[in-house]
Structure 1
Amino acid sequence: MADYTIILSDLAVSMRLGIHPHEQVPQRVLVSVSMTVRYDAPPAADAIEQVLDYDAVRSGIAALAQGPGFALQETLVEAVAALCLADPRVREVRVRSVKPDVYPDAAVGCEIVRTRG
């Protein structure tokens, strides 16, 4: 067995996220994902087919951002975690969302860690 940590950091998406009236229009959200991925063995070749393709994770997050939106960051990060855990090789996922523009003096976010089984 070989474990790797795959990281997608600060993916900027525009989406509806929040409960306040001014948050009903899309706003900038930064999403970061760190996945512990287990392969049966280290990749034998330098080929994407042998590993988790993080393009699929990026595309999945972008699709979530294009949807109807989320009231809570907690709901968003759970949806991203489920997306990642859909790949059976993912053993653990850490997901963070940050709304960097909510306050003039601070960003606000949410982070979770979910494990398989």
Structure 2
Amino acid sequence: MDDVIFIDGLRTQALIGVYDFERDAAQPLVFDVEMTLDTRRAGDSDVLEDTVDYAVVAQTIESTCAQSGFALVEALAETIATRLLHDFPIGQVMLRVTKPQAVPAARGVGVRIVRRRSVA
């Protein structure tokens, strides 16, 4: 059984983009994250250590964005997904990254990726 812990609409800033004007200042990004794991232990214990602390997940995303120098949101998303799978006891992560200001006529553009923990 895989349950989902999610963060919806996490707003942060990053220096990201292909074009010169995008490299001048950080721009807003919005993240939607879904992480799968079995939450029954936390449900029984009511102890934070038995689940994923979504505040720490948010901090991980924010700190990665603060250090970003990526041209593509795909590269940023891949880096964040890799960190989350490495740092947290999750089996899968779905990450949606939206650049709200990238295309003036659109509410937002971006990428949605799904990555699973590799079974070794």
Q: Same fold (TM over 0.5)?
A: yes
| Partner residue in 1 for 2:113 | 112
Q: Deviations over 1:12-42 (max 9, x none)?
A: 1111111101111100111111010135745
Task: Compute the TM-score of the two structures, normalised by the length of structure 1.
Answer: 0.89
Q: Residue 45 of structure 2 aligns to a residue in which SS?
A: coil
**Cα distance, 1:99 vs structure 2:** 0.4
Equivalent position amino acid for 2:112 in 1: E
Q: Which of the two has greater strand per residue? A: 1
Alignment check: 8 A CA contact 2:16 2:68 kept: no
Task: Structure 2: give runs of 5+ residues left out of the alignment.
Answer: none
Identity of matched residues, %: 32
| Partner residue in 2 for 1:62 | 62
CA RMSD of superposed structures (Å):
1.7
The reply on whether 1:3 has 2:17 as its aligned counterpart is no
Task: Compute the TM-score of the two structures, normalised by the length of structure 2.
Answer: 0.87
Equivalences, count: 116
Task: Structure 1: give runs of 5+ residues left out of the alignment.
Answer: none
Paired residues for 1:14-25 under 5 Å: 14-24=13-23, 25=25
Matches of 2:83 and 2:22, distance apart in 1? 24
**Aligned CA distance change for structure 1 residues 42 and 48 (closer, same or farther; 3 Å):** closer
Q: Which of the two has greater helix per residue? A: 2
